[in-house]
Amino acid sequence: MKYWKLFIVSCAAALLLALPAGAADAPEGMIVVRQGQSLSAIAAQHKVSVAQLCEWNKLNSPDKVRVGQKLHVRPPGDATVANDAKAAPASPPAKTSKQAKSAPQEAPRSAQAKSAPQEAPSSVEMRAPEGVPEKVKLELADVGRTLVNNAAKNIMPNAKAKAVVQGTNGGYVASYTEVDASHIRTDVIPSDKPGKYVGSIRYVENQYECVGNSRADALQAACQVVKSRRMNELISYEKGKWHY
């Protein structure tokens, strides 16, 4: 019996050692920063953007992370939603043949998807001092969505058309830039003249690099964020509309 107890304790210890660093003491949806990890590497590993990590963890700078720090890698509250879903009661029993005949038939999923209104792909954080009309703020948010989504579509090189160069230490490096359109911030700045404003539209561009032994390998390799750049577009409001 003593040997069996020793065997069970050894197995449990081996399982704990096999867990990733920080997994045992980090809640669901969070990780613990390990030695050598950067915010961009964490973002690439969990398929989110650096800007999202900064927002979820209230970080003023992507460089201010430390070993042992706990970080949300999903929006705060996702874990609660997942647990509620697990605790939800089982689906009701299947309808009888009579009920199935009398019930109206549902449209195919493809038809439902086409008829459902599409949600805006970007969330906009609007900031403005008191006294700025709501119409001015909402119109700037719409302009921000349009401007950032157009930048995301037209930026080059992009994920479908990467630029490939020979690396300094051998091999090849494929690179591209991607606009993080998941979060946009707009600021309305009043001017000295009545009815005139300056609008600031802020978003983030992430530069990715993918390394391989050949051009083909680099184009197929997993990519990581190597640089994030904060963009700030300024536009003006006069004669009742925003000009950009």
Model confidence pLDDT, tens digit, residues 177-198: 999 888 899 999 988 888 899 9
171 within a domain of the structure (yes/no): yes
133 and 239 share a domain? yes
Return all residues near 189 (Cβ < 8 A) that are at least 6 apart.
Answer: 197, 198, 199, 200
Q: Write down the pLDDT at residue 78.
A: 57
Report phi then psi at 169, rounded to 5.
-105, 25
Of 64, 70, 74, nearest to 39 by C-alpha is: 64
Q: Write down the pLDDT at residue 113.
A: 36
128 and 181 share a domain? yes
The answer, yes or no, to whether the previous bond of 76 is cis (omega within 30 of 0) is no
Query: What is the number of other CB atoms lying within 10 angstroms of the CB of residue 145?
Result: 19
114 within a domain of the structure (yes/no): no
Number of independent structural domains in the chain = 2
> Strand, helix or coil at 161?
strand
25 and 135 share a domain? no
170 and 71 share a domain? no
> Strand, helix or coil at 25?
coil
139 and 35 share a domain? no
Which structural domain, as residue segments, surrounds residue 158? 121-243
Per-residue pLDDT of the chain (244 residues; tens, 9 = 90+): 555 455 444 544 444 444 444 444 667 788 888 877 887 788 888 888 877 888 888 877 667 778 888 888 888 765 443 444 444 444 455 555 444 444 444 444 433 333 333 334 457 899 999 889 999 999 999 999 999 999 999 999 999 999 999 988 889 999 999 998 888 999 999 888 888 999 999 999 999 999 999 999 999 999 999 999 999 999 999 988 999 7
Q: Are 214 and 172 in contact (CB under 8 A)?
A: yes
38 within a domain of the structure (yes/no): yes
136 and 75 share a domain? no
146 and 239 share a domain? yes
150 and 213 share a domain? yes
Of 81, 183, 95, nearest to 141 by C-alpha is: 183
Task: Provide the whole-model pTM.
Answer: 0.49
Model confidence pLDDT, tens digit, residues 218-229: 999 999 999 999
Of 141, 185, 182, 179, nearest to 159 by C-alpha is: 179
Model confidence pLDDT, tens digit, residues 135-164: 999 999 999 999 999 999 999 999 999 999
The DSSP bridge partners found for residue 54 are none
What is the CATH classification number for the domain harbouring 70? 3.10.350.10
Report phi then psi at 65, rounded to 5.
-125, 150
232 and 129 share a domain? yes
158 and 69 share a domain? no
Q: Write down the pLDDT at residue 156.
A: 93
Of 200, 230, 182, 233, nearest to 132 by C-alpha is: 200
Q: Are 205 and 180 in contact (CB under 8 A)?
A: yes
